[in-house]
Amino acid sequence: MAEPQATARTITALARPSVRSRQIGVRVTQDEYRSLERTAWSNEQKVADWARDQLLQRMKRAEEDRLFAHVFTELVGLQMLLMGCFSPLLQGQRLTPEQYQELVRTVQSGKGKRAKELLAQRLGQEDK
């Protein structure tokens, strides 16, 4: 049976909000600070609060970007696999198990590079 004091400490620790006790410092020029200040004030925030929100939002976006890149790479791999399988099938040919395994190895080793190429190509088109 749990001790009453240990349970009370656990509940108190869980209910207590986290305290912002850590700081980071960034040096900026006077012009950069004015720009940050203008942006923060236009959002009705102090510079420090606005900067904190921006950093945390960027961290979250970075995590989402990594997930997106992984999903996109897997979709490119599926496309490569389907295209590699359908071409011989549409010509009335059959894939041997060895040919299929070779195709899978090719897709696994090349999907990352191909996904990067497609994204770079897409970003290049959007810039125009």
Distance CA 79, CA 84 (A): 8
List alpha helices for the chain, DSSP H. Answer: 4-15, 30-42, 47-90, 97-127
Maximum Cα–Cα distance across the chain: 75
CA gyration radius, the chain: 26
The interaxial angle of helices 97-127 and 47-90, nearest 10 deg, is 140
Q: Tell me the per-residue pLDDT of 54-85, one tens digit each, with 9 for 90 and over.
A: 999 999 999 999 999 999 999 999 999 999 99
* End-to-end Cα spacing for the chain: 69
| Residue 16 CB partners (closer than 8 Å, separation 6+) | none
Per-residue pLDDT for the chain (128 aa), expressed as one digit of tens each? 555 555 655 665 566 777 888 888 999 999 999 999 999 999 999 999 999 999 999 999 999 999 999 999 999 999 999 999 998 899 999 999 999 999 999 999 999 999 999 999 988 887 76
Using CA of residue 85, residue 86, residue 87, residue 90, what is the dihedral sign? positive
List alpha helices for 22-46, DSSP H. Answer: 30-42
The DSSP symbol for 29 reads -
- pLDDT mean across residues, the chain: 88
